[in-house]
Amino acid sequence: MKDGKEYHLNLLISREQIASIVKGLADQISRDYGQRELVLVCILKGAFMFLSDLVRHLQAPVQIDFARLASYGAGMKSTGLIEITKDIEVSVEGKDVLIVEDIIDSGRTVRFLKERLALSKPRSIKVCALLDKKARRDVEMEADYIGKEVDDLFVVGYGIDFNEAYRNLPEIYYVTTTDR
């Protein structure tokens, strides 16, 4: 990036740690839902890798759908405004729904989607987040399944981006900057 800053990636969560966190979440979900059919709603793009690993561990019948919500502009600051740019396509009426998110930060994105999905009268609606920045909440939002709480760091990797870069990294890093 040409902003006079140098960006550094610092390892935060290794592949092995991610695998064990994801397996732990899948086990909890399997225990709670049993053989009930579950609709997983993955929030694009950040949660795509998490979803794909998570579903491989689930034994119950699942349906998978995707929603895309934009809250971040370019860079590391959120605008606070949420817009839905791709809605889900399956019907969730009367169904058990689990929102799958990469990180909860201010809480706005997940809250927005949860309220919106609730209008379709699902049987239940819960939230599973790989990472949770609890200290940064602007609105009330408690996830039902949380992989790991993280400090107020900007993280990338394992689906999570910085200006669309780094989503492919198999580990999770936090970004630090120094002046060039």
Residues involved in catalysis? 105
Q: Considering only residues 73 through 92, tell me which ones interact with ligand IMP, judged by CB under 6 A.
A: 78
Q: Which is nearer to Mg ion, 122 or 159 (CB)?
A: 159
Six token digits for residue 80: 């606070």
CB 112 to Mg ion: min, Å: 12
C-beta closer to ligand IMP: residue 53 or 102: 102
Residue 102's closest CA among 135, 64, 53?
53
- Kindly indicate which of the ranges 39-47, 50-58, 116-124, 128-136 contains the residues binding Mg ion, using the contact rule CB under 5 A: 39-47
- Rounded to 10 degrees, what is the CA torsion of 116, 118, 119, 121? 150
C-alpha distance from residue 95 to each of 26, 121, 127 (Å): 19, 8, 14
Phi, psi angles (nearest 5°) of residue 19 = -60, -40
- The DSSP call for residue 32 is H
Backbone φ and ψ of 138, nearest 5° = -100, -30
Candidates 3-11, 16-24, 48-56, 106-114 — which segment interacts with ligand IMP by CB under 6 A? Answer: 106-114
Beta strand segments in the chain, E: 5-13, 38-44, 62-72, 78-86, 96-104, 124-132, 145-149, 155-156, 172-179
Burial class (CB in 10 A: 0-12, 13-18, 19+), 71: middle
Among 13, 26, 46, 99, binds Mg ion (CB under 5 A): 46
In angstroms, give the least distance from the CB of 103 to Mg ion.
Answer: 7
Partner from ligand IMP, Mg ion, none binding residue 155, C-beta < 5-8 Å depending on class = ligand IMP
Work out how close the CB of 136 gets to ligand IMP at its nearest, in angstroms, rounded to a whole number: 7
51 binds, among ligand IMP, Mg ion, none (CB under 5 to 8 A by kind): none
Task: Select from ligand IMP, Mg ion, none the partner in contact with residue 105, using the beta carbon and a kind-dependent cut-off of 5 to 8 Å.
Answer: ligand IMP
Enumerate binding residues for ligand IMP (CB under 6 A).
43, 46, 71-72, 78, 101-109, 154-156, 160
